[in-house]
Structures are given as structure tokens and as C-alpha cells.
Chain A
Amino acid sequence: MHRVAMYSPRMTEQALFILASLAQGDLHGYGIARDVEELSDGRIRLTAGTIYGALNRLSDEGLVAPAGEQQVQGRRRRYYRLTPAGHSVLAAEVERLRSAAAALGTRVSSRPSPRLA
């Protein structure tokens, strides 16, 4: 049984995109970087230092786990996978963002009322 999912207020946007990237399946660092860049429409471009820093933190929190190493195109790649806890946290965070976006959207679409004197 995996641990109860909890939204971590310290989760960065980069970590969130890394979790979302791993939700598609196991990936190595370079695969994560490319997928995150594509998923964010080129807005988030991760460096090696950022990726490994986030992966180490997420590993410590039990949200991702190493999934073995493979030789890919002459390079040794370490794969990572999303854990069940990571999947729950990702789902919870996406839901939180959806709610926040819906609430904020109502303010954006509504016309400002005239200020009372």
C-alpha cells in the first residue's frame, strides 16, 4: 500500500512537469528534459543540474524511483519511474491547479463593478 497522497506546497513547477513527464512511462534524464520542453511549449528548459536536483528530491519524497540503467546510443542512461504516491500527488496538484484556474477565470471574465464612493 502506498502512502497517502499529500500536496506538497514546496513543489516547483519544474518538479510538477517532471512528474507529468514520467506519468507517460519510464524516462531517462535527457528524455525528461525533451518531454518537459515539449509539454511546456518550450517555456521550461531544464538543465542537467536542475533535473538531477529535482529527481533526487522527488526520490527522497518517494514520488519517483530509479528504474534501472540502459545503454542508449552509446550512453549509459538511468531511467526513472513515477511511484503510486507520485501519481497521487500529481493528480492532486493538477486538480488543485484546475480549481484555482476556474476560480481565477471567473474573475477575469467578469466585468468589474463600478467602485462605490
Chain B
Amino acid sequence: MTRRLVDLCLLAYPRAVRARDGEHLRELAADLAADHGFLREAFGLVRGGLAERRRQSQTRPAVVAVGAATLVALTALTWTATAQGGRVEEDVLTCSEQCADAEADVASRVVDGWSCTERREPARVSWRCVLD
């Protein structure tokens, strides 16, 4: 079987498959051509190569979709970490009178690991609580 013609038929395969299986395909095709005839083998190689391309094109969109979703998730996480400085949650509590409830809330948050900054103004008191 003409090597050049076989190489031509092998072009039907994706490059990666050709690099991996090309030599084996070439030798197997030569062996089988001796049994079944060259045309049959040449046609089989072209058909096999096109089927392999079709199979890879079916799996590629799924890979691209997963990759894109991962990229979006990583971008969102990076943006959140940068914009929020790694903060998980931030609350501002304010009271103008009868601040006992607010102070109790702030105290319990501090116990739970929040970091609260108090700001007193003439008319009101506010706390900016951050959970890192």
C-alpha cells in the first residue's frame, strides 16, 4: 500500500490522534490491506478519521462550557475578594435612643467573631460590624 496515500488518508484524523496512533494505524492498515485490499482500507481510514473528528467535536462544547463556567466562577471570586477585602459580611447598626437592644446585638456579634466599630454622634450611635 502506498505510504504517501495512506498518509493522505490519515489527514482525516485530528492532529493529536494522528500523532498518537498514526504509526500504528499505518502499519495495521498495511497488514489488513494485504488481506482485504487497499481501497477498503483507505476508505476505512478516511471514515474513521472523520468519525474521530465528529466525536471530538461533540465532546469539545462540553469541555468549553465547563471551562467557561469555571472561569466565570473564579473571576467572580477574585473580584469579590478584591472588592470586599475578603470580607464575608458587613452590617451597620444605628440607634438614636433606647440603644440597649442595639448594644446587646453588637455585643453578641463581637462574641461571634464580628469586629465592630462604634461611632457616636450627638443625635445617634452607629456600629459598623464586619465579619472577616
Interface residues of A (CB under 8 A from B): 29-30, 33, 45-53, 56-57, 75-78
Contact = CB atoms under 8 A, between A and B. Distances in A.
B95 to A, nearest CB: 61
Interface string B22-44: 01110111011000100011011
B55 interface: yes
A49 B48 contact: yes
A52 B46 CA distance: 12
Interface of B: 17, 21, 23-25, 27-29, 31-32, 36, 40-41, 43-49, 51-52, 55
B55 A48 contact: no
Q: Which 5 A-B pairs have the closest CB atoms?
A: A49-B48, A47-B44, A49-B44, A48-B29, A48-B28
A76 B44 contact: no
A29 B27 CA distance: 10
A17 to B, nearest CB: 15
A29 B49 CA distance: 16
A26 B82 CA distance: 56
